[in-house]
Structure 1
């Protein structure tokens, strides 16, 4: 599937009329149905007036090709961070709210859980030694101060997840660094959890996070890898259709890589 055409189909084509006559001629065509301008994303000629115009150096740097694929991957990672952040915030809020009703919940736990024992005995489930029941017991019997700090920790962690997701969704360089560092710091914990209990869910989570770290580190050239930020910006400009057209006319565009101009 051509991702360039797929995005243009969802968002519309992005046409640009440069002020330079020679370059303008390469992006413009006259047809029997009227004028057409070349889309900076997919390269097709689109009937109608251009959406934007101005000097070629001011043309938006449109993600296309591999850069577009990378943007989609980052936003998928951002969605995962958003979902996780919302659930963690909800858990933190629940733990803090639970502190005020702990006595009633603890009493209900000790009175109601034993009522399930006849049923669990019939299906062969050892309720007393169940990991789920043991985890619930530790929570309901924890001190109020412990629950408060646990709730605060969950709220902070959830906020960090949302911040990381925002940086990735906006395709910001700081978001990529933030995601790389935050995900890397969590890997030792995930490995330790696997040594305690091996489950498919934990294995899948570890594999996804390791893949995310390697992808960000190598593809985004973080921490100076593969030429660092300068090489990354040069690669983005090389994949820009406006840059290709400038090269074809023998007049390379003078782009300043510092302001990351991007158009979805």
Structure 2
């Protein structure tokens, strides 16, 4: 069953009405009822009782997203939430790396002293805990220089900032954020592919597929970098879905006929 994005949005946010000053267009959007005047919603097209939310020349009417544009906004905001959550997680990781860089010796002692707790269990299953890949990896981090760990923490913070800025711009539907998302996401795809080749996990696979899908979808649907006619075609598509412009076109067709 297809989703009616127009009515779905109006049911949550309410209708958006506008009274154009052009007489013929004004009469097409207004109706008199037993309960008073009603105006066509610029989003769903239904008539809503009450005075219009605004008035003026049709050219100054708000451009209300409809249909496919509303669906696109929903997808962009889903991506914005995903970017925000990822950014917050990376900030926490950066904080943990910075804390670790200032207390490597204490963490090393704590790790070595508590590792013996697990030896009876691992010995029972004939598992060499001392030379396991996980323990070796953790011990290698103890040998990293303080300055190296600080650089890693700063790099993680920069990455987190990019993700949070992306989230802010995508939520508001800013075109610069779409460009930033495509460039930044595409730049990290090779790294994600390399990590996946080193160790496969369901989370890494899902993340990689989501990022690839996001890049392709934003590029094509938003017509970035001149694709599918570029920004001119994108703006023309937005305006062609405007209820006021549809009514104006219908009005002109009626006059010509």
Superimposed CA distance per residue, residues 129-174 of structure 1 (whole angstroms, 9 cap, x where no aligned partner) = 5444333323333221111111001111100111111111111111
* Equivalent residues of 1:92, 1:155 under 8 A apart: yes
Corresponding residue for residue 243 of structure 2 = 241
Structure 2 CA distance for aligned equivalents of residues 153 and 6 of structure 1: 42
Is residue 2:15 matched to residue 1:38? no
Corresponding residue for residue 199 of structure 2 = 197
Structure 1 CA distance for aligned equivalents of residues 131 and 31 of structure 2: 76
Corresponding residue for residue 22 of structure 2 = 20
The correspondence of residues 107-256 of structure 1 with structure 2, limited to 5 A, is 107-122=109-124, 127-250=129-252
* Equivalent residues of 1:106, 1:141 under 8 A apart: no
Report the number of matched residues: 251
Superimposed CA distance per residue, residues 49-90 of structure 1 (whole angstroms, 9 cap, x where no aligned partner) = 111111110111111100110111011101110110111112
Structure 1 CA distance for aligned equivalents of residues 206 and 215 of structure 2: 14
Corresponding residue for residue 104 of structure 2 = 102
Structure 1 CA distance for aligned equivalents of residues 243 and 120 of structure 2: 71
Superimposed CA distance per residue, residues 186-233 of structure 1 (whole angstroms, 9 cap, x where no aligned partner) = 111111112212222211111111111110111111111110010000
Q: Extract unaligned runs of 5+ from structure 1.
A: 252-264
**Please, what TM-score do these two structures have when normalized by structure 1?**
0.90
CA positional deviation for 1:122 = 4.1
CA positional deviation for 1:125 = 5.8
Q: Extract unaligned runs of 5+ from structure 2.
A: none
Alpha-carbon RMSD across the aligned residues, in angstroms, is 1.6
- The SS at the match of 1:37 is strand
Superimposed CA distance per residue, residues 19-65 of structure 1 (whole angstroms, 9 cap, x where no aligned partner) = 11111111111111111111111111111111111111011111110
Corresponding residue for residue 256 of structure 1 = none
